[in-house]
Amino acid sequence: MSDDSFVLSAARYGKDKVRVLRIVREGAWHHVVEYNVQVLLEGAIETSYTQADNSVVVATDSMKNITYYIAKISPHILVPEHFALHLGTHIVSRYAHIAKAFVTVEQLRWSRISIDGKDHPHAFIRDGDDKRVVRAEVDATAGKDKITGNLSAGLADLLVLKSTESAFTNFVRDRYTTLAEVDDRILSTAIDLEYTFIPFPIAAPADAQKEEFILPPTITPGSAFDIGVPARARTSTLHIFATHNSASVQATLHRMASAVLKENPGVHSVRYALPNKHYIPVDMRYIGVENVKPSEAEVFMPIAAPSGLITATVSRK
């Protein structure tokens, strides 16, 4: 069979794991952000795969350099959503043959250290392993002056646990069932949340170097450019986890997703992936100690694997 029998049906390439830390100095009051950036491109790049034609290739090394350059010049660097859109818009505007940029920004936590109850101006702490994750798709397929932004954002690895107000009963019982029904159990998960905004237009950069990125003159609350969305989504997710009397991970997930949709009119769908991290009461009957009854057990064995994995997307009708 010759190569003519095949077609290049998808191609996307770029740089992954570009690590950048940026300081913004407002006098003595400093801000820092640390990002892991992935930049992938699509466009008229087929011949680089099929004909060994590198003339269409913006080197991934250049994409790394562009990432650092936009991190240096962008007035939007402290907001990962805006930075991702700025970076993607610059690339699709600058290169005629690049139709789409896919920019993923993972933000690591650096919170201010509190000294005697006051935020320190330039000292920070990694106060959690959870990350903010932003995915921007900047689409200039319809033309360099008709750019569309597709944005989703959320968080990953937000580890939580509650020691009661979680039950799991009434599930299918058949020959494979060994799990006991419980009206009181530990519920623990590492929250992975992604909310997707309604697509929006992006103004084409007007300057010669295509470095400009201008936010819309008015920002609708709960829309892609509203910097309040991430904190609201994190707060309501934690609020529902803590306060909702859980009948299952599924039911809790649905509550959480509905809250994000309710609070943010510009979000059209919300996806959660929630591992159910199991904790098993240690059976101490062999030594005459009661530790089996879920509501009274005090010593548990955390189970690394397997875990449940409950996922769903809730969208506006």
Ligand X SMILES: O=c1[nH]c(=O)c2[nH]c(=O)[nH]c2[nH]1
Known binding site: residues? 60-61, 168, 185, 249-250, 276
Query: Which of 52, 179 has the CB closer to ligand X?
Result: 179
Nearer to ligand X, 62 or 250 (CB): 250
CB nearer to ligand X: give 190 or 219: 190
Q: Under a CB-based contact definition with an 8 Å cutoff, are residues 138 and 167 in contact? A: no
**Segment near ligand X (CB under 6 A), from 43-51, 53-61, 110-118, 242-250?**
242-250
In the complex, the smallest distance separating the C-beta of residue 157 from ligand X, rounded to whole angstroms, is 20
Q: DSSP string spanning the chain?
A: --GGG-------EEEEEEEEEEEEEETTEEEEEEEEEEEEEEES-HHHHHS--GGG---HHHHHHHHHHHHHH-TTTTSHHHHHHHHHHHHHHH-TTEEEEEEEEEEE--EEEEETTEEEEEEEE---S-EEEEEEEEE-TT-TTSEEEEEEEEEEEEEEEESSSB-B-S---STT--PPPBSS--EEEEEEEEEEEPPEEEPPP-STT-------SS--TTSTT-TTHHHHHHHHHHHHHHHS-BS-HHHHHHHHHHHHHHH-TTEEEEEEEEEE--EEE---GGGT----STTT---EEE--SS-EEEEEEEE--
Q: Are 277 and 235 in contact (CB under 8 A)?
A: no
Q: Which stretch binds ligand X (CB under 6 A): 25-33, 80-88, 128-136, 247-255?
A: 247-255
Measured CA to CA, the distance from residue 253 to residue 265 in angstroms comes to 19
CB of 179 to ligand X, least distance (A): 5
Nearer to ligand X, 6 or 171 (CB): 171
Our finding on whether 75 is near ligand X (CB under 6 A) is no
Q: Which of 47, 69, 308, 312 binds ligand X (CB under 6 A)?
A: 308
Q: How far is the CB of 283 from ligand X (least distance, A)?
A: 18
Residue 241 binding ligand X, by CB under 6 A: no
85 binds ligand X (CB under 6 A): no
Q: Name residues contacting ligand X, limited to 175-194 (CB under 6 A).
A: 179
3 state SS of 193: strand
From 35, 168, 197, 272, residue interacting with ligand X (rule: CB under 6 A)? 168
Q: Which stretch binds ligand X (CB under 6 A): 79-87, 101-109, 123-131, 245-253?
A: 245-253
Site for ligand X in 260-279 (CB under 6 A): 276
The strand pair at 131-139 and 187-197 is best described as unpaired
> In the complex, what is the shortest distance from the CB of residue 163 to ligand X, in angstroms, rounded to a whole number?
16
Show binding-site residues for O2.
Answer: 60, 276
As measured in angstroms, the least distance from the Cβ of 274 to ligand X is: 9
User: Mind telling me the catalytic residues?
Assistant: 15, 60, 278
Half-sphere exposure of 148 (CA within 13 A, CB side): 9
248 binds ligand X (CB under 6 A): yes
Instruction: Considering only the stretches 34-42, 112-120, 195-203, 248-256, report the one whose residues sit in contact with ligand X under the rule CB under 6 A.
Output: 248-256
Find residue 269's DSSP bridge partners: 196, 315
Shortest distance (Å) from residue 209 CB to ligand X: 53
Q: Quick count: other Cβ atoms within 10 Å of Cβ 229?
A: 23
**Nearer Cβ to ligand X (187/270):** 187
141 vs 313 by CB, closer to ligand X: 313
249 touching ligand X, by CB under 6 A: yes
- Positions touching ligand X (CB under 6 A) are 168, 179, 248-250, 276, 308, 310
